[in-house]
Amino acid sequence: MDTLFRMNWQLRDSWFVWCENVPQIELSAAREGGHGTILQTLFHIVDMEQSWMRSFAGRAEHHFHYEDYADLDAIMALSDRCRPFIEDVIKAWGPEKDQEAFSLFGADGRQIETTCGTAIRYVASHEIYHLGQLSMWARQLGYEPVEMSLLLTDPFGLRRPSKAKGRSRQR
């Protein structure tokens, strides 16, 4: 499970780099599907991942508010801030956790009974689903999307470079 989440994070970080080369107006423009905008979709990925992991760790559900993280730098910082906790949850995961009963409420309000193992795999695939949405939007805007096949040859080489001081994004 650890490897799958790390691969997701590498792709997410690559999308953050991709966003640094796209005008802010495009990142914030309303789009069909996903969660409305590129930035809202990236925020949703981060927020849902941390919320699910809190549930797996037996903590109260918590959601951040997009209004507090409505630009790329803030979403990147939130992702970085949440990641150590998520890593701890994944490291502590064992075979017995996979079989543990897990109950949640669906978007329609009905209660869903499953296992933690099924739910954590859902969380991992949730990010992949939304990254596919970002790829569609990238193509619609005339940009090349993040190349996912790089994970096949260098799964952990897609690191997000440190931002150079004084470097500004295209606006």
Residues annotated in a binding site for a divalent metal cation? 44, 126, 130
Residue 23 in 3-state DSSP? coil
Determine contact, residues 137/38, Cβ cutoff 8 Å.
yes
CA atoms of 164 and 66, how far apart (whole Å) = 26
Q: How many CB atoms lie within 10 A of CB 85?
A: 14
CA atoms of 75 and 160, how far apart (whole Å) = 14
Looking at the DSSP assignment, which residues form a beta bridge with residue 115?
101
In the annotated binding site, the residues are: 44, 126, 130
DSSP string of 90-130, one letter each residue: HHH--HHHHHSEEEEE-TTS-EEEEEHHHHHHHHHHHHHHH
